[in-house]
A and B are shown apart, each in its own frame.
Chain A
Amino acid sequence: MKEVALKELLYKIADDQLILGHRNSEWTGFGPLLEEDIAFSSMAQDKVGQSYALYQLLNQLGEQEPDTVAFMRNAQQFHNCQLVELPNGEYDFSLIRHFLFDTAEAIRFDLLSQSSYQPLADLAKKIKGELQYHTLHANTLIKKLGSATPESIGRLQNSLDIALPYALGIFEPSPFESSIIAEGFFAGEAELQKQWILKVDALLAQTQLKPISWPTVKAIYGGRNGQHTEHLQPLLDEMSEVFKIDPTAEW
């Protein structure tokens, strides 16, 4: 029971990082300015690297090799929230998602640095600087673009409205929530969501974006349960296209 709960926790975090890292990597070479192209690619790499580290933890707990886990599962076997699998859209959507997700991610790993599962706590402490950069980057750009031109404010507002219900899906409770909290693996999704709302509100207050009326936002759940949008399976097919030419080969 205990281990099942831990694995579920690790899988969903790892899957989030992998899928969003993959999505964000699509921008490499297509970014709005060269320096931002580079920064966004680095953060995508960080995410893929973090997912790799988490799958390695799972591997130590008896799960299959990271490559097999990442490249051979189908969509129903993924536990990522739906937010991360949505197509990149225009830069406003990618940036809003990056802000919403990474704000949560930074708090999540901050909480995980207290995890009773030591390898996870160690990893969380180690990557603190990476996450700090991601939120510094996201906050800086949202503050600027969220108060700049009518077009930039309008675009961000529109993307924010679309992304918010999915963003609440980050915090979809796990069936093992109480065990995860009781075992001290993680402080729980409700706690994470509470802290996240404070941070999001505080940052948006520094922009010309509308304050969020949280009770009116309806969370889109399902991702943690293997229910995904029509976008995830094609993403996985694409990601594993070469790998599946011969999964037993070394590439």
Chain B
Amino acid sequence: MKSLDPRVNRLPTLSREITTKVPLDQLGTYEVFVQAKENKPFQHEGIVHASDIELAFVLAKETFTRRFTCVSIFVTDTRDVYVSALTEGTVNAYDTLPPYTPNANNILENYLIFHLLKRGKQHVLAGKVTASTPQEAMLKGKENLQDGKPVFNVWAIRESAIRHTQPEEMVLWKTLPDKKYRDASDYKAGDKLTRFLAQRKNEIL
């Protein structure tokens, strides 16, 4: 291939004709949550494809936190997110939970509960509960984590299924605010432009 892009000219040529990819090399799906500032709740930001939770964490960091500020992220396998019904209007998703009686002998675990407070927006961390099952976690969320506004969707995630940012990893985002070149505010050319326009005006006159 003769290209204007020197990188393309260096690409190897393919030894065989490829029209479609080999079937199913699609990796797993992991949900990514980001905490922008110390006192802000974690918020769902999107997904990455990865082979496992550790790689998902590594890839999520640059996919979702390349600019502005970030103090911490976490990832979890999409299959580990328990999801309530999605409601609309004035219907609260918590009111649609099926009846459930937890077994008192079960082992308790921490669950993170996320709320969708407005359709079209992100799921935001509402708090943590201890429960033996996701169903129980949602019921506890219903009791303890509501503040009057209808919740349109609830997610419950077992904390042991989460890859958190470790304390010694907080430093990963330290130079983020210095990476001004990723920010629109770093591209000011107003002075140059003003001088140029003034000069042109003079030339025309």
Chain A residues with a Cβ under 8 A of chain B: 26, 30, 33-36, 38-39, 41-42, 45, 49, 87-88, 90, 126-130, 132-133, 136-137, 140-141, 144, 238
Chain B residues with a Cβ under 8 A of chain A: 6-7, 10-12, 27, 48-52, 54-55, 58-63, 66, 169, 171-175, 178-179, 181
Cβ-defined contact, A30 with B174, below 8 A:
no
Q: Which residues of A contact B172 (CB under 8 A)?
A: 129, 132-133, 136
Cβ-defined contact, A144 with B55, below 8 A:
yes
Shortest distance in angstroms between B110's beta carbon and chain A's nearest beta carbon? 25
Cβ-defined contact, B10 with A87, below 8 A:
yes
16 other A-B residue contacts (CB within 8 Å) besides A30-B7, A34-B49: A30-B11, A33-B27, A33-B49, A35-B59, A35-B62, A39-B59, A39-B62, A39-B63, A45-B179, A126-B178, A129-B171, A129-B173, A130-B175, A133-B172, A141-B58, A144-B52
Q: Which residues of B contact A238 (CB under 8 A)?
A: 6
Choice from A26, A33, A128 contacting B7 with Cβ under 8 Å: A26
Shortest distance in angstroms between A242's beta carbon and chain B's nearest beta carbon? 12
Please name the residue on chain B nearest to A35 by beta carbon.
B59
Most buried by B among A45, A88, A128, A133: A133
How far does the alpha carbon of A127 sit from the alpha carbon of B136 in the complex, in Å? 44
Shortest distance in angstroms between B147's beta carbon and chain A's nearest beta carbon? 35
Cβ-defined contact, B55 with A140, below 8 A:
yes
Cβ-defined contact, B58 with A136, below 8 A:
yes
Known contacts A30-B7, A140-B54, A144-B51; is-contact A36 B173 (Cβ 8 Å): no
A-B contact pairs, 29 of them (CB 8 A): A26-B10, A30-B7, A33-B27, A35-B48, A35-B59, A36-B59, A38-B63, A38-B66, A39-B58, A39-B61, A39-B62, A41-B62, A42-B62, A49-B179, A126-B175, A128-B171, A128-B174, A129-B172, A129-B173, A129-B175, A130-B175, A132-B169, A133-B61, A136-B169, A136-B172, A140-B54, A140-B58, A141-B55, A144-B55
How far does the alpha carbon of A130 sit from the alpha carbon of B61 in the complex, in Å? 12
Q: Which residues of A contact B49 (CB under 8 A)?
A: 33-35
Cβ-defined contact, A126 with B174, below 8 A:
yes
Shortest distance in angstroms between B199's beta carbon and chain A's nearest beta carbon? 16
Shortest distance in angstroms between A20's beta carbon and chain B's nearest beta carbon? 16
Shortest distance in angstroms between A28's beta carbon and chain B's nearest beta carbon? 9
Q: Which residues of B contact A34 (CB under 8 A)?
A: 49
Q: Which residues of A contact B55 (CB under 8 A)?
A: 140-141, 144
Q: Which residues of B contact A88 (CB under 8 A)?
A: 10
Q: Which residues of B contact A133 (CB under 8 A)?
A: 61, 172
Cβ-defined contact, B62 with A38, below 8 A:
yes
Choice from A33, A42, A128 contacting B66 with Cβ under 8 Å: A42
Q: Which residues of A contact B61 (CB under 8 A)?
A: 39, 133
How far does the alpha carbon of A144 sit from the alpha carbon of B171 in the complex, in Å? 24
How far does the alpha carbon of A136 sit from the alpha carbon of B178 in the complex, in Å? 21
Please name the residue on chain B nearest to A139 by beta carbon.
B58
Q: Which residues of A contact B6 (CB under 8 A)?
A: 238
Shortest distance in angstroms between A69's beta carbon and chain B's nearest beta carbon? 19
Cβ-defined contact, B58 with A137, below 8 A:
yes
Q: Which residues of B contact A127 (CB under 8 A)?
A: 175
Q: Which residues of A contact B7 (CB under 8 A)?
A: 26, 30
Shortest distance in angstroms between B32's beta carbon and chain A's nearest beta carbon? 10
Please name the residue on chain B nearest to A26 by beta carbon.
B7
Shortest distance in angstroms between B173's beta carbon and chain A's nearest beta carbon? 7
Shortest distance in angstroms between A175's beta carbon and chain B's nearest beta carbon? 33
Shortest distance in angstroms between A237's beta carbon and chain B's nearest beta carbon? 10
